[in-house]
């Protein structure tokens, strides 16, 4: 049965998020078995946890500490790097600056966004020359002093997880394991450190941590602060299913680019975050995509007479910038 035929018969009325242990992928047989688990999760849910992901706990602890210190700074200091005054949304976004769900009044979180950068800059580095619409250097706060190093160490560790997953996604799509390698030489990975204040007082359902949405890139690698429930995923029965933090795991979810590429064989599932815990919550999504100049169009294996192509081709960078502009209601021209 083809991927397109299989997708037509899959039920998406899930009531939990599967866990995939990616720590045992050293042999071709192990990777094929993992790919089957991932295929099932991507078709039925669009979300899954990964355990044994390989990011050292020390790396997580350091970025967690640095982001808490940064977000505790006075607003006027953080606003010096306001993202709407920096190329392509890098830098700081205050609370209620975005509104990803048009039905809502705003997203109750603040964040700091970065893109690709070597921890030790390379002389005459030309690796980002094809970023096109999404070109733009990172900006960094002066304090806390360890913020840049902690963020970039985590960023590159999470990219390592993403590269492993891209190969497993290829196998899950019945493609050669290296299919995405030449499309992710300079991977378009956007990372946000996020702080969700507690929602106290009268509750307004139109103001939540982040409103119902799908992600823009191919997939997201998400770290959630332990012990605080906020993330919810919408199933086909229109029920919100909790995706609580599970110690030692990351959450992976399919984004719109991979859904477009697979003609919706892999699901980009609507989700939201609501922090009703009465305490602050922190998370780190890394949105992992292809090189920005790659054309995204439905794969032939995911197209059939009964499932014709649903999307027109578009460059990855153009698509991401379009969606970011929509989220921030931004109409300016970027360098």
Each residue's pLDDT tens digit, 191-223: 999 998 877 654 555 556 677 889 989 999 999
Give the length of the chain: 335
* pLDDT for residue 124: 60
What is the rounded average pLDDT for all residues in the chain? 87
* pLDDT for residue 133: 47
**Separation between Cα atoms, residue 137 and residue 117, nearest integer Å:** 8
* pLDDT for residue 292: 85
The list of the chain residues with pLDDT below 70 reads: 1, 87-88, 98-107, 123-136, 200-209, 327-335
**For the whole prediction, is pTM greater than 0.75?**
yes
Each residue's pLDDT tens digit, 265-307: 999 999 998 887 788 999 999 999 988 889 999 998 899 888 9
DSSP secondary structure string, 202-246? Answer: S--TTEESEEEE--SSSEEEEEE-TT---EEEE-TTS-EEE----
Q: How far is CA 279 from CA 197, 211, 267, in A?
A: 7, 19, 32
């Amino acid at each position: 049965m083809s991927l397109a035929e299989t997708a037509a018969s899959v039920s998406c009325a899930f009531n939990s998020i599967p866990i995939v242990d990616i720590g045992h992928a050293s042999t071709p047989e192990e990777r094929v078995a993992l790919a089957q688990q991932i295929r099932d999760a991507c078709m039925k849910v669009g979300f899954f946890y990964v355990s044994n992901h390989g990011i050292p706990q020390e790396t997580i602890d350091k970025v967690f500490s640095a982001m808490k210190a940064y977000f505790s700074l006075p607003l006027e200091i953080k606003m010096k790097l306001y993202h709407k005054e920096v190329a392509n949304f890098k830098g700081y976004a205050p609370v209620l600056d975005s509104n990803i769900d048009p039905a809502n009044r705003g997203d109750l979180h603040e964040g700091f966004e970065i893109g690709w950068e070597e921890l030790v800059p390379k002389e005459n580095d030309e690796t980002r020359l094809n970023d096109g619409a999404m070109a733009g250097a990172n900006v960094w706060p002066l304090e806390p002093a360890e913020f840049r190093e902690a963020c970039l160490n985590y960023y590159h560790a999470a990219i390592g997880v993403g590269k492993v997953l891209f190969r497993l996604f290829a196998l899950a799509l019945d493609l050669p394991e290296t299919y995405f390698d030449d499309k992710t030489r300079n991977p378009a990975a956007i990372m946000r450190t996020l702080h969700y204040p507690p929602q106290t007082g009268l509750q307004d359902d139109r103001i939540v941590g982040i409103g119902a949405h799908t992600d823009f890139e191919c997939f997201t690698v998400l770290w959630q602060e332990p012990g605080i429930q906020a993330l919810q995923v919408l199933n086909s029965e229109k029920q919100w299913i909790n995706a609580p933090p599970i110690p030692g795991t990351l959450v992976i979810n399919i984004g719109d680019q991979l859904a477009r590429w697979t003609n919706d064989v892999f699901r980009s599932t609507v989700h939201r975050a609501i922090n009703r815990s009465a305490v602050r919550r922190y998370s780190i999504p890394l949105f992992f995509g292809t090189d920005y100049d790659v054309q995204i169009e439905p794969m032939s294996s995911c197209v059939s007479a009964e499932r014709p192509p649903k999307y027109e081709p578009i460059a990855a960078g153009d698509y991401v910038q379009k969606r970011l502009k929509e989220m921030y209601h931004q109409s300016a021209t970027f360098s």
